C-alpha cells in the first residue's frame, strides 16, 4: 500500500453551479483548493483527476430513467422534469449539470478504487459527499450520490464490509436508502434532529431493513443548539464501538462543514476545532479498524469563506499525515485570493479559538434528564442490541 495520500481534484468540479443565488456556491471548492496549495499540502499528496462516472457506474445506484432525465435537463434546463427533483428551488437545472455531477461522482469512485487496490491508504474528495440524492431523484442540492456510488463500487470490487460515517448537519438519507437492505454496509449518521431540519428523517428508530440488514443503519439525532462538547460526546459514545464490532474493510466518511455555528442553513453550534477533532478521530478509527483504508468526502457547508475552506484543508492535512496546526496564521496569499474572488476578508487563523476541544466521555456516566444524553441513549438502545452490543 502506498504511504502517500490521494487528493482528487479537477478544476471542472467548480462547474457544479446552481446559480448565483443558490447557497451551494462553488467558490467554496476553489477556495479550499487554494488553501490546500497555500499550505503546500498538494505536494504532500498525489493530486489526481479521475474520469467522470460513466452510465454503468451511475447505474450501480441510480435508475436508468433518472440518469436519462438528468441528461435531458443538462442539455436543456427548461426541459427539467420536476418529478425527478430536477428544476426545483433546491436543485435548479443548469447547462452541463450531468457532466459536472458525473465528474464529482467519478472522483469519489476513483478514490474508493485507489484505496481498495492499495494505491493509497487515504483518499480525499472534498467536492463529494452529495449524500441526499436518491436512486431515482435529486434532493437537497445533490444530483448524483457520489458517496453511495463509491460504496457500491467497493462492493463490486469485492468488499464485504464497508462502514459509512456521516457527520454533516443533515441526515445522510440517500446513502442510508441505497443500502437499507444490505448488511455489508453500516451507515452511521450524526445530524441535527429531524424535527428541526431537512430532510426530516434520521430518527433513532430507523435501523435498517429486515433480517441480516437489521441494525445496519444508525442515526444519532442531535438537539438544535448542540455545541462542541455535546457533538464530540455523541460521536464517541456511538461510532467507535460500532466500528470495532463491525470491523470494516474500508471506512468512508462524509465531513459536511454545516454543523458550524456560522452556517446559515442549520442550528448546531459546532466549531472548526471540533470538526478537526472528528476528522482526526475518523483517521484514527480507519487505522484501528479498517487497516488504514479511508475515503474522506466533503458535503454541506454554506459559510463558504470563513468555514468550509479551513475545515476541509484540515481534513486534507490529516489525510496527508501533515496536519495543519490550528494556531497557524493563514498565508496572506490565500487571504488575497479570498478578497479577489469574493470581496470579503478571509479568516486569519486555522482555529476558532477552541483548540484543544474538551471531550466528556460517555464512559464517565450519563444524565437521563439531559436532552443530548437522551438522544445518545435512544440511538444506543435502538441499535446496539441488534449488533450484539450493550446499550
Catalytic residues: 132
Are 162 and 248 within 8 A, CB to CB?
yes
Strand 122-125 and strand 185-192: the pairing is unpaired
CB atoms inside a 10 Å sphere around CB 16: 21
DSSP SS3 for 346: coil
Burial 317-350 (b: 16+ CB within 10 A, else e): bbbbeebbebeeebbeebbebbeeeeeeebbeeb
C-alpha cell at 227: 455545541
DSSP SS3 for 53: coil
Burial 251-269 (b: 16+ CB within 10 A, else e): bbbbbbbbbbbbbebbbbb
Q: Which helix (H) or strand (E) holds 7?
A: strand 5-8
Are 366 and 198 within 8 A, CB to CB?
no
Are 89 and 83 within 8 A, CB to CB?
no
225: left (phi over 0), alpha (psi -120 to 50) or beta: left
CB atoms inside a 10 Å sphere around CB 233: 22
Strand 45-48 and strand 217-222: the pairing is unpaired
Amino acid at each position: 500500500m502506498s504511504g502517500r495520500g490521494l487528493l482528487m481534484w479537477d478544476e471542472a468540479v467548480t462547474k457544479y453551479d446552481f446559480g448565483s443565488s443558490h447557497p451551494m456556491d462553488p467558490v467554496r471548492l476553489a477556495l479550499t483548493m487554494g488553501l490546500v496549495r497555500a499550505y503546500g499540502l498538494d505536494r504532500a499528496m498525489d493530486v489526481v483527476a479521475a474520469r467522470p462516472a460513466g452510465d454503468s457506474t451511475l447505474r450501480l445506484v441510480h435508475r436508468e430513467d433518472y440518469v436519462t432525465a438528468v441528461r435531458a435537463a443538462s442539455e436543456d434546463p427548461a426541459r427539467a422534469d420536476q418529478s425527478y427533483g430536477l428544476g426545483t428551488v433546491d436543485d435548479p437545472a443548469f447547462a452541463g449539470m450531468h457532466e459536472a455531477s458525473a465528474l464529482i461522482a467519478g472522483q469519489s469512485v476513483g478514490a474508493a478504487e485507489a484505496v481498495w487496490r492499495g494505491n493509497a491508504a487515504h483518499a480525499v474528495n472534498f467536492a463529494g459527499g452529495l449524500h441526499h440524492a436518491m436512486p431515482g431523484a435529486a434532493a437537497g442540492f445533490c444530483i448524483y450520490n457520489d458517496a453511495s456510488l463509491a460504496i457500491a463500487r467497493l462492493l463490486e470490487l469485492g468488499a464485504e464490509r464497508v462502514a459509512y460515517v456521516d457527520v454533516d448537519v443533515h441526515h445522510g438519507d440517500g446513502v442510508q436508502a441505497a443500502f437499507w437492505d444490505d448488511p455489508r454496509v453500516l451507515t452511521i449518521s450524526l445530524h441535527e434532529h429531524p424535527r428541526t431540519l431537512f430532510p426530516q428523517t434520521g430518527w433513532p428508530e430507523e435501523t435498517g431493513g429486515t433480517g441480516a440488514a437489521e441494525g445496519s443503519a444508525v442515526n444519532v439525532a442531535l438537539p438544535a443548539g448542540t455545541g462542541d462538547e455535546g457533538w464530540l460526546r455523541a460521536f464517541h459514545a456511538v461510532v467507535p464501538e460500532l466500528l470495532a464490532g463491525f470491523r470494516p474493510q474500508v471506512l468512508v466518511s462524509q465531513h459536511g462543514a454545516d454543523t458550524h455555528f456560522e452556517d446559515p442553513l442549520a442550528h448546531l453550534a459546532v466549531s472548526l476545532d471540533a470538526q478537526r477533532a472528528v476528522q482526526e478521530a475518523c483517521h484514527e478509527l480507519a487505522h484501528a479498524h479498517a487497516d488504514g483504508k479511508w475515503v474522506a468526502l466533503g458535503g454541506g457547508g454554506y459559510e463558504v469563506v470563513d468555514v468550509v475552506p479551513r475545515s476541509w484543508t484540515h481534513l486534507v492535512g490529516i489525510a496527508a499525515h501533515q496536519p495543519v496546526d490550528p494556531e497557524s496564521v493563514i498565508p496572506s496569499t490565500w487571504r488575497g485570493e479570498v478578497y479577489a474572488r469574493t470581496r470579503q476578508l478571509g479568516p486569519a487563523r486555522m482555529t476558532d479559538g477552541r483548540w484543544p476541544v474538551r471531550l466528556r466521555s460517555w464512559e464517565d456516566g450519563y444524565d437521563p434528564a439531559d436532552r443530548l444524553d437522551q438522544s445518545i441513549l435512544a440511538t444506543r438502545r435502538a441499535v446496539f442490541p441488534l449488533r450484539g452490543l450493550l446499550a
